[in-house]
Structure 1
C-alpha cells in the first residue's frame, strides 16, 4: 500500500512494528528517530524514507535484509538501492546573538541523546561481534543491569498487615493495656533470597561470550544477597564465586581467569554436570540453576540429558542460556541442546546485553 498524508504517522508506526516482528530490535527510541527523520526528508520521497529507516531502525548488518523484505511487503514496492544518497537536509543557521549558555546546553543535550541512542543499539548487538572499543563500552553498561534475587517463603513468620492472627503479639498488646482488648496483630511467613547457581561454559566454541558471561556472573554475585554461586564448566568443574566477590569487575575477571584451567578447551558437559551433582548437589537443591552453553557436547549426549534431568528434580528451576538462540534461523539441533530441552524450564537467548536483562528478569520471577 502507498501511505497518504493523512494518518502518515500511523502508517509509519505500523511499519516499525512489522520490522520488529521480523526480528529487528526496534525500540521506542528508534521509532521516534525514524518518524523524525521521515518528517525531515519528506514522506513523498520514497528513497529518502527507505534510507531513513535503514539508518534509524537497523543496528547491525543482519538487520538490513529483514528491513528490506518488510519494506517491500509493507509499501508494495521494490526497495531503492542502499547506495542512493539521501537528499541534503535544509541548512540550519545559528543566531550568533543568542546567549552562549543556551547554545552550549543544546549541544550537550544533543550529545546526550546521541550517546543514549548509541548505547541502546549496543545493548542489542551480538557481544561476540563487537570491536575492542565497543566491548569496553559494553563493560560499562553492565552496571545498568538490574539484579533482583528470587525469593522463597521462609519458615519464620514476620509481622504483616494481612495473614494469620499472631496470638503472642496480640496478647502482649492487650497486657500493655491492662487486659483491655487491643488491636489484633497479624503475621505471615517471611521471604528469603533463593540461591542462584550459574554454570558457565568456557569451552572454545564459547570463547566470544566468556567475558560478557563472567561480567554477568559478577553482577549476580554482587547483587544476589550472598546467595549466588558460580562455576565454570568445560573439561572440568571450577568454583569461581570467591574470585567474583571482588567489587571491581575488571579485577574480579582477572582473579577468575587465574583459577580456571580449561579456558577455550573442549566441552564435556555431561561429565562436568555429573561432577557438580556429586560434589555440590547441596547448592542446587531448591535453587535457580542457570546453564550458559551453546550445547556443543563432545561427550555422550545421553549422559548430559541424564545429569540435567537429575538436576531438574532437585532444583527449583533450570534455565538454559544459549548465545545462538537469538540469531535468525537458529534451530536447537546441537546434540547437547536437543538432549536437555525436555529437562529445562526456560530456554533463552544469551548473545546481547538486552538478553542478559531478560535473563535477570526470568531469574527474579522464578
Structure 2
C-alpha cells in the first residue's frame, strides 16, 4: 500500500478530515460507531499524524470490529489518503451498475447459420436477479437491495418443531390400545374384535431466538430481526410459540414487539426497546442473565434455542462456554448461527466460537436469505 499522509496536508482541521474518513468507512459498510470514532481521534493524537504506519494501525485497531472489516478498511484508507488524487478523493457522479456478470447474450442473434449447430450443445441459462439476491451477503447490500430483500422474507415458510406428549390418540398403526380393544371385546360379550391402535400426540415445541446486536453484528441486525418477525408470525399461526431476545451489553426481551403484524412497525418497536445497538459484546454475562431468569423458569427448558452471533466476545470466553453448556442442559437443542460461517476461507478461530462449539448441536451460516431458508429447515426438524 502506497499512502502519503502528513500533518501539513491535513491543513488546519485534521479532526474534520479524520471524521470524514470514518464517514467514508461507514458508507463502505464498516459499522463505525461514534465511540469508535472518538477512540480513533484519541489514538491518532497520541501516535501523531506524521507517522503513516502508526495512523493506519490506529485506525485498524479502533474502527474495525470483525475480520470482514479489514479489507474494506484497507481499500478506503488508501483511496481516502492518496495524495495523488487529492484529499479526500471525489466520489463518482453516478454509482456503477451492479449488473450480474454473464457471458450469455440477452437475446438470440437474428438469422441462422453454421453457429446454430454448435449452439445446440450449449445450455443457455442465466440466474434471475431474485435468485442472485437470495445468496448475497446481507451486510453488503445497498438500500434498494435491502428493500427488495425485505419483501423476499415472505417466501420463508418456517414450521414449528414438534415434541411428543404423554397423551395418545387413535391411529391406524402404532402400538396396541389394550384398554379400548378390551372394552370393544366386552361390548361383543367377549367375542374377538378388531384391534385398536394408538400413537402419542405431538405439540409444537417452543423456539427461543437470541440475536446479537453488538457493533460487529450491526450489518446483519436488520435482516435477523426480520427473520425473527417472520418466524414469530408464521409459527404463531400454526400453534407455535417464539420468544425473541437481543444480546449485546444487556439482555432485552423483544417478543411483544415481534408479535406486531406489520414488519416495519415491529422493527421500529424493537429499535425503541433496545438500548445497546452497535455496542460491545458481553455474551457470557447476558447469557448468564438469560439462563438465570428464563432458563430455570422453564422458558428455555425443552426449547430449541437459536443464537445469532459471530462469537466476538470482549468478556471472559470461559464464562461464555459455561453458560452455553448450562443452556444446553436445559434446552432440547442449541443452534449457533454465525454470519461468517458460510464465507470462503472462514475458520472458527475466535476464542468465543471455540468456547461454545463443544456445547452446540448445530453450527450454521447466517449471512443470506438462502442460509436463512436452511436454518428454518434445521429448526423444523429439531
Question: Fold-level match, TM-score > 0.5?
Answer: yes
The equivalent residue for 2:366 is 350
Other-structure match for 1:272:
286
For the residue of structure 2 that corresponds to 1:327, the secondary structure is coil
The residue number in structure 1 matching 2:122 is none
Q: Which deviations, in whole Å up to 9, do the C-alpha atoms of 1:143-201 show, x marking residues without a partner?
A: 11120111111111111111222234335545666765432211111111111111000
Distance 1:138 1:272 in 2: 30
Secondary structure in structure 2 of the residue aligned to 1:354? helix
Query: Which structure features the higher share of helix residues?
Result: 1
Kindly tell me: are residues 178 and 258 of structure 1, through their superposed partners in 2, closer, same or farther at Cα, counting changes over 3 Å? farther
1:13-162 residue pairs with structure 2 within 5 A?
Answer: 91-92=109-110, 117-162=128-173
TM-aligned CA distance change 1:278 to 1:84, over 3 Å: closer
Q: Which sections of structure 1, spanning at least 5 residues, go unmatched?
A: 1-82, 94-112
- Match among 251, 254, 257 for residue 240 of structure 1: 254
1:204 Cα deviation after fit = 1.0
1:291-339 CA-partner distances (Å, limit 9, x unpaired)? 1001111111111011111111221111110101111111111221121
Q: 1:341 aligns with which of 350, 357, 369?
A: 357
Deviation, 1:85, is 9.0
- Cα root mean square deviation, aligned: 2.4
- 2:274 aligned with 1:263, yes or no? no
Q: What is aligned with 1:332?
A: 348
1:299 aligned residue (307, 315, 318): 315
Partner of 1:359: 375
Q: Does 1:192 align with 2:203?
A: yes
Q: In 2, Cα distance between the equivalents of 1:183 and 1:84?
A: 66
Query: Which 5+ residue runs of structure 2 have no aligned equivalent?
Result: 1-100, 112-124
Cα distance in 2 for residues equivalent to 1:144 and 1:87: 30
* Secondary structure at the counterpart of residue 128 of structure 2: helix
CA distance in 2, matches of 1:260, 1:84: 43
Indicate how the Cα distance of structure 1 residues 168 and 136 shifts in structure 2: closer, same or farther if over 3 A, else same.
Answer: same
Length, aligned pairs only? 264
Aligned twin of 1:290: 306
Distance 1:319 1:352 in 2: 17
Once the two structures are TM-superposed, the CA of residue 91 in structure 1 deviates from its matched residue by 3.9
User: Match for 1:314 among 330, 340, 364?
Assistant: 330
Evaluate the alpha carbon distance shift between residue 246 and residue 335 of structure 1 in structure 2; reply closer, same or farther with a 3 A threshold. same
C-alpha distance in 1 between matches for 2:232 and 2:105: 51
